[in-house]
A and B are shown apart, each in its own frame.
Chain A
Amino acid sequence: MVYKKTAQTWHWAAPVAALSLGLAALASTTTVQAEQTLRIAMTASDIPLTTGQPDSGFEGYRFVGYTIYDALINWDMSSADEVSGLTPGLAESWEVDEDDQQVWHFHLREGVTFHDGSDWNADAAIWNLDKVYDEDSPQFDARQAGNVRGRIPSMDGYEKVDDYTISFTTSEPDAWFPYQLTFLLFSSPAQWEALDGDWDEFARQPSGTGPFKLTRLVPRERAVLEPFADYWDADRVPQVDRVELLPMPESSSRTSALLSDQVDWIESPAADAIARMESQGMTITSNPYPHTWPYQFSMLEGSPWRDINVRKAANLAVDREGLETLLGGLMVPAVGTVNPDHPWFGEPEFEISYDPDEARRLLAESGYGPDNPVEIKVLISTSGSGQMQPLAMNEYIQQTFSEVGIELEFEVMDWESLFPNWRRGADHETSLDAHATNITFGWLDPFAAFYRFMHSSMAPPNGFNWGYMDDPEYDRLLDEAKVTFDQEAQDALLAEFHARMVDDAAWLWVAHDVGPRAMNPRVQGFVQAQNWFQDLTPVYIEE
């Protein structure tokens, strides 16, 4: 009714609209939402790929991955108090073969249907695996394959055992394989058939098994999700009637949209706008999650980081509390790759804190001093996914480093140039002879946290061992952890590895992000999990 009244007002005022003089009289529009709609402004510049394997990094998984689809193993995002663990998804249980540790058996959940009503079973699972692994299958989709295959490095084969059991073969024994399967999402074969095998059309009318189904897709502008009434998990029934996802890459645009009530929830608000948003009654949520903001060192010949005293001095030279103040409290100081309360942290002897005197002493021991500073070049970005505020943070580090005798020089590049360099290595021409790279990352599982950076076999182009770290003891511990299927024993090995890494000051650890989000106070029920992904199902709008 209010809308109609406004429209009539416009007709009356139309003749003078060109002069823009009637704005005040015209603009008192109030949007009446008859249903509960949650409007979210994402940082992505487009709606992530909706066919099953999303693009746009983890934000894609967050909003159109785990909403529309399920994996065999899902993330348990129900708690804000501990780092998210794994929980059964489309598989009710799984185990490694007693005789062959390279074979895994997965027992699929029965009674699950896709949004189109077709059944989830082993045939559907194998069809989806062919979708990304079998280039000769009619449903093969290079785009989805490109998005997911790199996340499951151990996959070697798969087969149907019976209607609700499938087996996987890994290239080597790998206790971390279940983590990798959280990235493999399952689309409906029946829907693909119904759409004549057209993945573009499937993107507009996708069908998964997730708690939400996509009801509208306007590329680059909007995606609308609605609850899937027959979702298999009764504990995760969506509370809102609609979720609207809006791509809004500019943080100032997201802030304005929230403050002008165009959206209810924005991802990654700009730190300098948070006080303003709070003063207008907005809710700021945050929680540490598996994220680290580091300098990854080059260990190539000639790099100053080859000297452990320099590495330790750098870790002691950063005033992390000052940095936290600079960021308005939106970070947690990092004293290792993982947080101290994590099972993988271990008991390192080297205690990372702000101790410039000790840093100066260590540098002096290695022959550095005011007349002979350590000269270091670092690759940094102007912005980027998970990079927090790279320019301000790096300048702060530059300042604190200079106080102990480390001179930092930056090679500043855009995120899209820095990120691909990660896999090219410190000796690549695009690294510009830098001694460190500043790329943030998620450490959801041991492979992502340690193996891909620290194992010698992961040197470029195989992985992200950018600085060519080559330590037999690191390799031994990681190799052993990878084939240790007992969780406690595996955690103990990883804790030993991590403690050694900290004692070596193998990286410069600076901060963990806390994933800030800003919301209208109407938004209730959100539990911010310690995860890159979040559950939208408990969220509701308070009238």
Chain B
Amino acid sequence: MPIYFLKRVLYVIPIALAVSFFCFSLVHLSPGDPMDAVVSPDAPSEVVAMVQRAYGFDRPLPEQYGRWVLRAVQGDLGLSAANGRAVTAEVFSALKNTLLLAFAASLIGFTLGCVFGTLAGYFQGSLLDRLVTGIAVGGVSVPHYWLGMLLVIIFSVELNWLPSSGAGPGSSSDWNVEWAYLRHLILPAVTLSVIPMGVVTRTVRAMVADILAHEFVEALRAKGLAERQVFRHVVKNVAPTALAVMGLQLGYLLGGSILVETVFSWPGTGLLLNNAIFQRDLPILQGTILVLALFFVMLNLIVDLAQARLDPRIQRG
């Protein structure tokens, strides 16, 4: 067991290096000059050269990569080309906001998904089932940005109930569980929750319908169990699959959503990436992609280790 864990942890090192190389290459292969983010086009060539030196953009790419990785290992992802601030602080500040949004969206999406899926599964073929299935398909199909703008028009512009942008009346660094801040979270969280809600609804519905068709359910009922007790058995059987799907969906949400965060000016990693793309801010792009990618690597590591813990057969394999 310890050897498996050690091996699995050590695998992370080459994966992380490959991820860092991919991030660096991807960003540098894209068109655009990082100096465009730093100096105005009026700047004479000697000023451009001076700023290039200051930011290290005058070094050969392999050297830039080496320096970047060495600094990254120490937690320093460099300075933003667009604003000169530390990339590490920028990324983690944005990541905190994305996590908040992702967990809020998960709460809404998973709760509704489980409720809708269970209802549809129990009343398969009914009008309710068709309605819920329609909502689920709509949820999976509807474009995020369109729904976001629609909700803004209805709830912000027309009804003036909820704010359309930002993380709160102060800023995201002041965020706390108060209505003044929570109301800023509702529209982006609802928008982001629609896809996981649809996916979870469909999964749970299919699983509930499948479990209900099993003979053991009939046997439980024949033994005289109350419907509530039968329901508990159904839930227990549905739970592993539903949890796996929810885990995957949570992973997607944690990656941030460029479109939703941009529509709502939510200061997360999606908005950070969007702005960095338009500003040609290569250090921010590299840093954000690296942190998000490593986040997934670590998430996968945790899942693998947890699975191995639960199912010893995996270690032998």
Contact = CB atoms under 8 A, between A and B. Distances in A.
Interface of A: 3, 6-7, 9-10, 17-20, 23-24, 26-29, 31, 45-46, 49, 55, 57, 135, 142-143, 145-147, 149-151, 153, 199-200, 203, 218-222, 246-250, 252-253, 256-257, 259-262, 414, 416-417, 419-420, 422-423, 461, 464
Nearest to A247: B265
Interface stretch (B12-20, B130-138, B152-160): B152-160
Contacts of B204: none
Interface string B106-123: 011001100000000000
A145 B210 CA distance: 68
Contacts of B51: 142-143, 145-146
B162 to A, nearest CB: 6
B47 A145 contact: yes
A260 B179 contact: no
A192 to B, nearest CB: 15
Contacts of B54: 142-143
A373 B179 CA distance: 64
Contacts of B178: 7, 10
B278 to A, nearest CB: 6
A143 B32 contact: no
B40 A253 contact: no
A143 B36 CA distance: 12
A27 B171 contact: no
A419 B149 CA distance: 30
Contacts of A29: 179-180, 183
7 tightest A-B contacts by CB? A27-B161, A150-B42, A150-B43, A10-B179, A260-B156, A218-B171, A146-B39
Nearest to B54: A142
B263 interface: yes
Contact of A9 (B83, B112, B167, B179): B179
Contacts of B155: 23, 27
Contact of B50 (A27, A145, A147): A145
Nearest to A218: B171
B85 interface: yes
Nearest to A261: B160
B64 interface: no
A111 to B, nearest CB: 34
A20 B43 CA distance: 53
Contacts of B167: 221
A260 B267 contact: no
Given A200-B85, A256-B157, A150 B44 contact: yes
Nearest to A50: B83
13 contacts: A146-B48, A147-B39, A150-B44, A199-B84, A200-B85, A220-B267, A221-B166, A221-B171, A221-B172, A257-B265, A260-B156, A416-B278, A416-B280
Nearest to B108: A18
A146 B267 contact: no
B272 interface: yes
Interface in B45-63: 45, 47-48, 50-51, 54-55
A250 B43 contact: no
Contacts of A247: 265
A496 B32 CA distance: 40
B124 interface: no
A152 to B, nearest CB: 10
B41 A10 contact: no
B262 A10 contact: no
B47 A248 contact: no
Contacts of A46: 82-83, 275
Contacts of A7: 178-180
Given A260-B160, A262-B163, A420-B41, 11 more contacts: A6-B180, A18-B111, A27-B155, A31-B169, A146-B47, A146-B48, A146-B51, A221-B167, A248-B265, A257-B165, A416-B36
Interface centre among A19, A146, A417 (most CB of B within 10 A): A146
Contact of B152 (A200, A256, A464): A256
Given A20-B186, A147-B40, A249-B275, A28 B82 contact: no
Contacts of A250: 262-263, 265
Nearest to B35: A420
A254 to B, nearest CB: 9
Given A135-B50, A145-B50, A416 B32 contact: yes
Contacts of A252: 149, 263
Contacts of B32: 416-417
Contacts of A262: 156, 163-166
Contacts of A422: 41
A203 B79 CA distance: 15
B30 to A, nearest CB: 11
Contact of B173 (A142, A203, A218, A461): A218
Given A248-B165, A250-B263, A416-B279, A151 B41 contact: no
A461 B45 contact: yes
Interface in B140-198: 149, 152-153, 155-157, 159-167, 169-173, 178-180, 182-183, 186, 190
B249 to A, nearest CB: 16
B24 interface: no
Given A146-B47, A250-B262, A416-B278, A219 B40 contact: no
Contacts of B172: 218, 221
Contacts of A143: 38, 51, 54, 84
B166 A28 contact: no
A260 B166 contact: no
A7 B180 CA distance: 8
B171 A253 contact: no
A438 B79 CA distance: 33
A19 B33 CA distance: 47
Contacts of B108: 18, 20
Contacts of B159: 27
A256 B156 contact: yes
A147 B171 CA distance: 28
A225 B152 CA distance: 28
Contact of B83 (A49, A419, A423): A49
B171 A222 contact: yes
A204 to B, nearest CB: 10
A55 B275 contact: no
B43 A149 contact: yes
Contacts of A218: 170-173
B112 A19 contact: yes
A199 B73 CA distance: 26
B31 interface: yes
- Residue among A31, A142, A461 with the highest chain B CB neighbour number at 10 A: A142
Nearest to B112: A19
B90 A253 contact: no
A55 B82 CA distance: 8
Contacts of B112: 19
Contacts of B111: 18-19
A37 B127 CA distance: 52
Contacts of A6: 179-180
Of B38, B82, B83, B272, which is in contact with the most chain A CB atoms at under 10 Å from its CB? B83
A252 B93 CA distance: 25
A218 B186 CA distance: 22
B137 to A, nearest CB: 20
Contacts of B90: 219-220
B277 to A, nearest CB: 9
A23 B40 contact: no
A124 B122 CA distance: 78
Contact of B179 (A18, A26, A259): A26
B43 A256 contact: no
Contacts of A257: 164-165, 265
A465 B276 CA distance: 29
Given A142-B54, A253-B264, A260-B164, A45 B275 contact: yes
